[in-house]
Structure 1
Amino acid sequence: MNTPIKTQCFKAYDIRGQVPSDLNEEVAYRIGRAMVAELHAKHIVLGRDMRLESPMLAEAMTRGLREAGANVIDIGLCGTEEVYFATSAFAADGGVMITASHNPKGYNGMKLVKSESRPISGDTGLNAIRDRVESGDLGPLASNPGQVRFELDKTRYIEHLLTYVDIADLKPLKILADPGNGAAGPVLQELIGKLPFEWIIINGEPDGNFPNGVPNPLLPENRSLTRQALLENGCDLGLAWDGDFDRCFFFDQEGRFIEGYYLVGLLAEMLLKQNPGAKIIHDPRLTWNTIDQVRLAGGVSVQCKTGHAFIKECMRLEDAIYGGEMSAHHYFRDFAYCDSGMIPWLLVTALMSVSGKKLSQLVDERIEAYPCSGEINYRVSDVAAALESVLKHYLPQAPHLDQTDGIGLDFPDWRFNLRGSNTEPLLRLNVESRRDPALVALKVKEIEGLLNSKYME
C-alpha cells in the first residue's frame, strides 16, 4: 500500500483526469482513505454523475472511506449541489462528488468538501490529501469498517429549492429545458409536478455516452439544439445545464443566449428587494453592470477573486446573501454559501411571472448600458510576460488599476480584465464599455494586437 503512485489528477481546486491513466480505482480508493485521515471524518456524503466510469470510482472511493472507518451516506446519481446540500443537511464531516462536469468523454474527477460544505482546495486540504495518496501514507485501517447508508430520496433538497419562490405567484410559462444528458434531468422530473409551467424537455435522460455532445452550453457550438427546440416550440424561456448542473444557462424567447454576467445583476437586484442593504459578492472580470445594479437596488457590492473557493469564503466573511460570477456560477447564503444551477432559474421565472416581462425585457437595458465581449481565450508562450507587457502599454494612460485577479484597468468609457488560467498557458480577456459595443470590439482588437506581436502562439 505504500507504493508511490502518480497524482497528476490533482488540480488547484479539484481532482480531474483521464480514466484510467490519471484517475482509476486505486487512486479513488487512496483518496477515500486519505480524506478520512486528514479530516478525522466519521460521516462522508458521496454522490456521482452519469459518466460511465463514475459507478466504478464511487465503489472504490466507498471502500477507501469505509476501511478508514468512515460511514458513507450514498446519495447516488446527482448533481454537485446535491452533495453540498446533503453534507450540510446531514451534518456530515465532508462530501465527495464524482464528476468531470463539462470535460470531454473519458475524463472524470472529484470535488471534495469538508463540514458545512466548505471547499477543500489546494491549501485547505487538497494538497495534503494528494501527498498522502502519492506516498501511500493513508492512515490506519479501522478495526471496525464504516457502514453505507443510501439516501436516494431528493425530497428535502427539492423542498429547499422551492423555498426561493412563492409558487402562487408563478405564471404558466412555457419552458424549454435541456439537461444535455447530464444529471439535471432527474431533478427536473421531481420539480415538474410542483410548478405551473409547461415543459418541453430535450436530452433529459442521463447518459454518459453523451449522444448529443458533452454538456457544456458555455461553448457557442453546443447551443444549437437548445435554440432550435425553443424556437420550434415557441417557448418563453430556454434553460440548459452542464453535466453536474452547477451552472445554468439562459436563452430568451428569441433563442438568444444571455451572458451569465447580466444574470448576476438581475439576481442581485431580486434578492436585495427581499434583503435591503445586503452585501453582494462579484468576480473582477466584468463588473460595471453588477456594481451599478447593486447600487440602484440599495445593496453593497464587494469584489472577490475568481473561483468558487474564494467566492464562498468571501461570502462568509462579509455575510453576503448572494455571490455571482460571469461564468454562470451563482452562490446563495441560504444554500450553505454554495453554488446552485437550480435556484437561479427558479428566481428568474418568479421575476418573469410577477413583472409580466420576458427575459429579454429584463436584461436588454442592462446589455445596452454595459455591452461586453464575453470571455476570450488566447494561448500564449509566456503568461506572466504577456500580462506585464499589456500593463506597461496602458499604465501611462493613468487608468484605475485593480490586481484582484490578473490585471483590471478602468478607463472613463471602457475597462478590461486580463488574467492567466490556473491550469493552462492561456490568457482570458474580458472587455466592457458604457453604451458603446463598437468600442468593445475596437479594444479587443487592440489588446489582441499587443499579444499577437510577441506572445500569441
Structure 2
Amino acid sequence: MTPELAARLVKAYDIRGLSPQELDEAAAHRIGAAFARLTGAPEIAVARDMRDTSPALAAAFARGVREQGAAVVDAGLGSTDYLYYVSGRLGVPGAMFTASHNPAGYNGIKLCRAGAVPVGEGTGLEVLRAALTEPAPAPAGRPGGSREVALLADYAAHLHGLVDLSGLRPLKVVVDAGNGMAGLTVPLVLNQPELTVVPMYFELDGSFPHHEADPMKPENVAALKERVRAEGADLGLAFDGDADRCFAVDERGEAVPASSVVALVAKRLLAREPGAAVVHNLITSRGSVEQIEEAGGKPVRSRVGHSFVKALMAEHQAVFGGEHSGHYYFRDFWFADTGLLAALHIIAELSSTEGPLSRLVDGLKRYEASGEVNVRTPDPAAAVAAVERALGDAAAQLDHLDGLTASFADGSWFNVRPSNTEPVLRLNAEAGDAATLAALRERVLAAIAQA
C-alpha cells in the first residue's frame, strides 16, 4: 500500500475508507497482524456491524491476529458499545468493524486496548499506518486459536444495572435505528413493560435503503420527527450506524441539543456522587457547564474527540463525559461511549417528571447556539489565523486548546477548528440571544471568506 493511501485510511481516531477500494481484505489482514504485535495480548476480541463487507474484513483481520500467535474472541454482530463491553468485561483488546455514520460504500475499524482503552493517533494508530506500507510480517510459529462468545444479553443486563428503571411511568418511544446496529441492541435494552417502542428501520441493512445512519444531518431525522408527532409519542431516539451515538427528539418533534443531554445526565449522576468530575468538550454549551458546577460537579474541558475525552476521564476518574456530537461516556462503562445508556437516563428522567420532554429540555437550555457550521476552505489553518486577526482584539479571552476559541464580555463565544479528515473548518458559536448569535456568526464567516 502506498503511504498516501495508508495516510488517508488510518485517521486520527480510527481506520476508515471506501471498501473494498481502499480498505480491502489484504489491508485488514495486515492490520490484524500489526495490532496483535502492538498489543502483545494473548486474545483479541472482534465484532462487526451489518455492512456487506464487514464479515470478510473481520475474518481477514482475525487471520492476521491468529498468524501472530494470538487467539481471537469472535463476538459476532453487535454495536460498537457492545464491543467495548466485551473488551471491558473480558479484559482483552478489541476491534470493531464499522464505518459508523458513513455511507454504504465505506467500512472501517475502531480499535481499543483491554478495558476499552482507545487506540488513536499517538497511542498506536501511527504504528498500524506504518505497518500498511512495510513488508508483511512472518507468521508466528504456532497460530492462535479462536472462540465465539455471545454476550449481547449480558451487555443489556449491564446497562440495566446502571440506571434505576423501577417505577417507570408508561411512555411511548419512537426509535429510528437507521437500518444500523440499534436494530439489534434496542429490543434487548428497551424491553421494559412500561415502554411502548415504535420501531423505525430496525432491519439490519448495510445499504441504508431509507437514509444514511447519520442523525447529525437534519434530513436523516426528518422521518423520526414526523413519526413522533403522528404517534403522539413522548420521545424519539435516533442512532448512528454502529449505535454508539444517540440523538433525542421531544414530543413536538423538536431536536434535543446534545448539550442538554450532557446537563441532564451529569446532574443525575452528580446527585449520586457530588463533587465528581464531568468531562465536556469545548463545544458543549456554557449553560451545561454552569449546571454541572451548580450540581456540585467539577467540569473538565477537553478537545473534541473520543480519545481526548476518555483520557481526561481516566485521569480525573470522571463519572461522565459528553460531546456535542451525541457521544456520551460513562466511568461505569469503562469510560467508553454508549448511546443506549444515555437513552436510558433520558427515559428515567422523563419518567420521574410529570411534564413532557420539551418542558424538561427547555429548563436545561440557557443560551442560543449556532449548531456546527462546516465551511469548506483550501487552507483551514490559514482561515483560523484570519479569524483571530479579525476578531481577536475584541475578545475578552482567547485560547487554542482546539483551533481557536474566543469569549466575549457579553458571554457570547465561538470556536473554529479544522476538521481532522477533510478541508473543512467547523464553526460553533453561542450567545445570550438570537440577534447577538446571528451577528457573531456572520462576523466569523466573513473573516473566513476573506482568508
TM-score where L is the length of structure 2: 0.96
Contact 2:395 2:409 in 1 (8 A): no
- Tell me how far 1:6 sits from its aligned partner: 4.5
Distance (Å, rounded) in 2 between the aligned partners of 1:348 and 1:4: 45
**Deviation of residue 355 (structure 1)?**
2.0
Q: Which residue is equivalent to 2:76?
A: 76
Tell me which amino acid in the other structure corresponds to 1:251.
V
* 2:409 alignment counterpart: 412
Q: 1:305 aligns with which of 303, 306, 312?
A: 303
Match of 2:100 in 1: 101
* Secondary structure, counterpart of 1:355 in structure 2: coil
Distance 1:122 1:28 in 2: 18
Which amino acid in structure 2 is aligned with residue 377 of structure 1?
N
Partner of residue 42, structure 1: 42
Superimposed CA distance per residue, residues 165-212 of structure 1 (whole angstroms, 9 cap, x where no aligned partner): 222131110000110100011112223434520111010111112110
1:378 aligns to what SS in structure 2? strand
CA separation in 2, counterparts of 1:142 and 1:303? 44
Paired position in structure 2 for 1:333:
331
What CA distance in whole angstroms lies between the structure 1 residues aligned with 2:62 and 2:354? 49
Aligned match of 1:392: 389
State the SS of the aligned residue for 1:363: helix
- What residue is the counterpart of 2:444 in the other structure? 447
Per-residue deviation, residues 120-154 of structure 1 (Å, max 9, x unmatched): 1111111112212220243x423321122111231
Aligned counterpart in structure 2 of residue 163 of structure 1, from 158, 161, 170? 161
Aligned twin of 1:136: 135
- Structure 1 distance, partners of 2:360, 2:271, is 15
Partner of 1:383: 380
% identity of equivalent residues: 39
CA deviation after TM superposition for structure 1 residue 3, in Å: 11
Is residue 286–residue 432 contact of structure 1 (8 Å, CA) maintained in 2? Answer: no
Q: Report the Cα distance in structure 2 between the residues aligned to 1:193 and 1:220, rounded to whole angstroms.
A: 28
Q: Tell me the alpha carbon deviations over residues 92-132 of structure 1, each in whole angstroms, 9 at most, x when there is no partner.
A: 1x100000001111110000111121111111111112212
Distance between the aligned counterparts of 2:422 and 2:206, measured in 1? 26
CA drift of 1:412 comes to 2.3
Q: Does 2:146 align with 1:148?
A: yes
1:256 corresponds, among 251, 254, 257, to 254
Listed one character per residue, the Cα deviations across residues 277-301 of structure 1 (whole Å, up to 9, x for unaligned) are 1111111123411221111111111
Cα distance between partner residues in 2 of 1:328 and 1:424: 20
Cα deviation, 1:384-418, whole Å, max 9, x if unaligned, reads: 11111111222222411122111111112211111
Residues 387 and 419, structure 1, Cα contact 8 Å, conserved in 2: yes
Secondary structure of the corresponding residue to residue 150 of structure 2? coil
Deviation at 1:322, TM superposition (A): 0.4
Amino acid at match of 1:147: G
Q: Comparing 307-316 with 227-236, which one deviates more in the overlay?
A: 227-236
1:342 aligns to 2:340 (yes or no) = yes
Listed as ranges, the matches of 1:81-92 within 5 Å are 81-92=81-92
Please say if 1:428 is aligned against 2:434: no
**What code does the residue aligned with 2:37 have?**
A
Partner Cα separation in structure 2 for residue 314 and residue 3 of structure 1: 35
1:255 deviates by 0.5
Match of residue 125 from structure 2: 126
Spell out, residue by residue over 1:408-442, the C-alpha distance to the aligned partner (whole angstroms, 9 max, x if none).
Answer: 111122111111111111111111112x1221112
Structure 2: distance between partners of 1:306 and 1:82? 23
RMSD between aligned residues: 1.6
Quick check: 1:110 aligned with 2:109?
yes
Q: CA deviation at 1:366?
A: 3.1
C-alpha contact (below 8 Å) 2:17/2:23 kept by paired residues = yes
Consecutive unaligned residues in structure 2, runs of 5 or more:
none
**Number of positions where the alignment pairs a residue of Structure 1 with one of Structure 2:** 449
Matched letter for residue 61 of structure 2: M
Contact kept, 8 Å, 1:6 with 1:134, in 2: the verdict is: no
- Alpha carbons of 1:122 and 1:195: their partners in 2 closer, same or farther (altered >3 Å)? farther
Describe the SS at the equivalent of 1:306: coil
| Equivalent residue letter for 1:213 | H
Q: Which runs of 5+ in 1 are unaligned?
A: none
Q: Is the 8 A contact 1:18 1:107 kept in 2?
A: yes
Paired residue for 2:273?
275
Contact 1:5–1:133, Cα closer than 8 Å, also in 2: no
